[in-house]
Structure 1
Amino acid sequence: MRIYTTISVTLALALSAISVETFAQSESFDAGKATFKVSFKEEVSQFEIMGLFVLPGEEVHLKVSDYQAGVTFKFHSDQAPPVNVDTVGWRWKAPASAGLYSLWVEQQNPADTMRFNVFVMVPLDSVKGEYLNGYHIGRYPEIPLKKLAIYKKPRGFIEVTEENQNTLVSPHFTIAQFLCKQDGGYPKYLVLRTRLLRKLERILEEVNRKGYACQTFHIMSGYRTPYYNKAIGNVKYSRHVWGGAADIFIDENPVDGMMDDINGDGSHTYKDAEILYNIIDDLYGKAWYKPFQGGLGWYRKTNSHGPFVHVDVRGFRARWGD
């Protein structure tokens, strides 16, 4: 089985060798986009690397769009071979066993590739009581909030191991960045929405375009199990519990677990988080941003954390600030 689990050299070097000139180097940012797009599972992505989360035996339809005239494509898999629907579309059936697999779409003349790191999830019904293979999940609400589909129980859980934790799920984010902060060994489990990954990548691209060099966001909180969410006293229907939210900040210069002083006033304060908040909020109303509408909030520094910004993909606009 061909598995891609190693973070890219560009990202690794950026994270380990940040210089004092970081804020002047945003022109070096590579958005990691292919020259074509692929649609799958209600998503359309142009990123060279993308996580795909499916159930055992699930059939996935993939179709290329927005490509140059005259080019040809091939579809590859490290497991079951794809079935051609037409020259730019395929059907692929996920393996029966949970784990990490690979798909990739190869464009020829000119050469380009889009890779999908596919996580076949462990189905929801594998949870026994409040535990999945010893990992404390807790209990999801039986009734979705306001009967909204986004609050239905997740279909399954992504299994994260010591071996696959550094797998890229988009050009600048690994699966491990979204793990719940609760204690416990491997395997760990989480829920993660592809739409959130796409949104974070577009925000990251915009942050760099505005002149703030950043190779990835520090994700202070990604997925939260219902158990952990309740333990920290958060609201029952937090979007974190459904894998659709992330609390983020820029942590590049230095890498110290704290929001960078991006306004240059010598302090790490809510004013730095407010800059990030405003960059994101200014995207609202743009036609391409419509699929990414959701919650946006900013928070001040406390004794337990520094300033940060919350983003989610709930599907409708919500705003708040500390």
Structure 2
Amino acid sequence: MFWELLFAFLTGGVSLAPMTAHERVASAPVASAPAATVAAPASAEGPADLATPADVGDTPTYSAQRLPFTVRFGETTNDLRVMSMFVLPGETVPVAVLHPGHSYDIRSTQAVTTATAPNSWSWVAPRKPGLYPLEVRERGADRAMTLQVFVMVPFAAAKSGWLNGYHIGTYPAPRSSHYARPAGFVEVTPALENIAVSPHFRLGQFVCKEVGGPPEYLVLRQPLLVKLEDLLTEVNAEGREAQTFHLLSAYRTPSYNAAIGNVTRFSRHHYGDAADIFVDNDGDGRMDDLNRDGRHTVADAQWLGRLASRIHDPALDLTGGLGTYEPTGGHGAFVHVDVRGFEARWGA
């Protein structure tokens, strides 16, 4: 971690059982649409038609953007208005709405969707990698969920550490099930960088700093998005305004990790389930004074870390690592969060 931050600074890359976030927003009204781009269902010309881009965090006040119904996509459940899912080409996924007494319609083009029961469908991923949004809408109500379904490029498509001219590097042999190699990579084109992957985060925030592309490639796991959204809810519930987190680092290719001198071969950043974050509502490039002591110190990261420690629901795959880091000459204080599947704690 230290060497990445030093590298970024030198190259100019850096300018506990309280109510959970899920419980706190369960009775909240349905929120307005997210400000980031939400892709419309795909057209015949390509994987996705894109709406007019806008920046994440443009809404004047924070809203968790949870819906009064839940959708199950494969083994994953979601009640956020926008959420990303990651599949392989040709994969068949069961989809169902978990809200008895109401009727719903599903909209998805360029993907085979077959009704299997009331409010249940079978969805088959297209063979071409890309973004294929799926919309589930309640009949007779102005409520809809958009699942941003990314059909990934299979892991095996990377040859000798390269994928379509983008340097990935070599993943080590898994030392346990928690370190299994990714199933595939999300292809990131300039048109997709501003796509909302969840209500308050966009795809471009998770891209590696590896030089190369377009296209670029990344690994991103859905539980990380859930954990970040839950933590953002906690931060706002504590009276600190934040529309998103600044991501100092998210996905890192093994190639990039080695290039910055990081000797950790099993960094969680390789597996798409880790992010180094800070709150920067005033836009000065460093962690805000979260503990309100009039200073910018590691105590602000510790304040944020205490909130993050509350979010560890194993049923949602949210259990993971938590580290707090002091400010240096090259960066402010920040917090590492991940969803590795087991607890780990370190830092200042």
TM-score by length of 2: 0.82
Candidates 307, 312, 327, aligned match of 1:279: 307
Residue 291 (structure 1) aligns with: 317
1:122-141 paired onto structure 2 within 5 Å = 122-141=153-172
1:31 has 2:77 as partner: no
* C-alpha distance in structure 2 between counterparts of 1:45 and 1:304, whole Å: 38
Residue 111 (structure 1) aligns with: 142
TM-score by length of 1: 0.88
Q: Displacement, 1:53? A: 1.2
TM-superposition CA deviations, 1:52-96 (whole Å, max 9, x none)? 11111111111111x2x5310011102224111211211111111
* C-alpha distance in structure 2 between counterparts of 1:151 and 1:169, whole Å: 24
Aligned AA (2:88): L
Contact in 2 for aligned 1:5/1:165 (Cα 8 Å)? no
Residue 243 (structure 1) aligns with: 272
Residue 55 (structure 1) aligns with: 88
1:209-288 paired onto structure 2 within 5 Å = 209-234=237-262, 235-253=264-282, 255-284=283-312
Higher mean Cα deviation, 216-225 or 304-313? 304-313
TM-superposition CA deviations, 1:103-128 (whole Å, max 9, x none)? 11011233310001121111112112
Residue 25 (structure 1) aligns with: none
Structure 1 unaligned segments of length 5 or more: list them. Answer: 15-27
Residue 193 (structure 1) aligns with: 221
Residue 102 (structure 2) aligns with: 71
Candidates 82, 85, 102, aligned match of 2:116: 85
Q: Displacement, 1:258? A: 1.0
Aligned AA (1:120): V
Aligned AA (1:316): F
* C-alpha distance in structure 2 between counterparts of 1:42 and 1:288, whole Å: 14
* C-alpha distance in structure 2 between counterparts of 1:140 and 1:201, whole Å: 28
* C-alpha distance in structure 2 between counterparts of 1:289 and 1:308, whole Å: 27
Contact in 1 for aligned 2:311/2:318 (Cα 8 Å)? no
Change (3 A) 1:302 1:10: closer
Residue 203 (structure 1) aligns with: 231
Aligned AA (2:128): S
* C-alpha distance in structure 2 between counterparts of 1:54 and 1:6, whole Å: 25
Contact in 1 for aligned 2:112/2:125 (Cα 8 Å)? no
* C-alpha distance in structure 2 between counterparts of 1:59 and 1:261, whole Å: 47
Candidates 45, 56, 59, aligned match of 2:78: 45
* C-alpha distance in structure 1 between counterparts of 2:311 and 2:218, whole Å: 28
Candidates 303, 315, 321, aligned match of 2:329: 303
Residue 58 (structure 2) aligns with: 12
Q: Displacement, 1:167? A: 0.5
Q: Displacement, 1:5? A: 5.5
* C-alpha distance in structure 2 between counterparts of 1:266 and 1:210, whole Å: 17
Change (3 A) 1:290 1:40: closer
Structure 2 unaligned segments of length 5 or more: list them. Answer: 1-42
* C-alpha distance in structure 1 between counterparts of 2:303 and 2:315, whole Å: 19
- Percent identity, aligned pairs only? 47
* C-alpha distance in structure 2 between counterparts of 1:157 and 1:89, whole Å: 28
Compute the RMSD of aligned alpha carbons: 1.9
Number of residue pairs the alignment of both structures matches: 301
* C-alpha distance in structure 2 between counterparts of 1:203 and 1:301, whole Å: 21
Q: Displacement, 1:316? A: 1.5
Higher mean Cα deviation, 125-134 or 164-173? 125-134
Q: Displacement, 1:256? A: 2.5
1:159-170 paired onto structure 2 within 5 Å = 159-170=187-198
Contact in 2 for aligned 1:35/1:46 (Cα 8 Å)? yes
* C-alpha distance in structure 2 between counterparts of 1:12 and 1:260, whole Å: 18
Higher mean Cα deviation, 223-232 or 242-251? 223-232
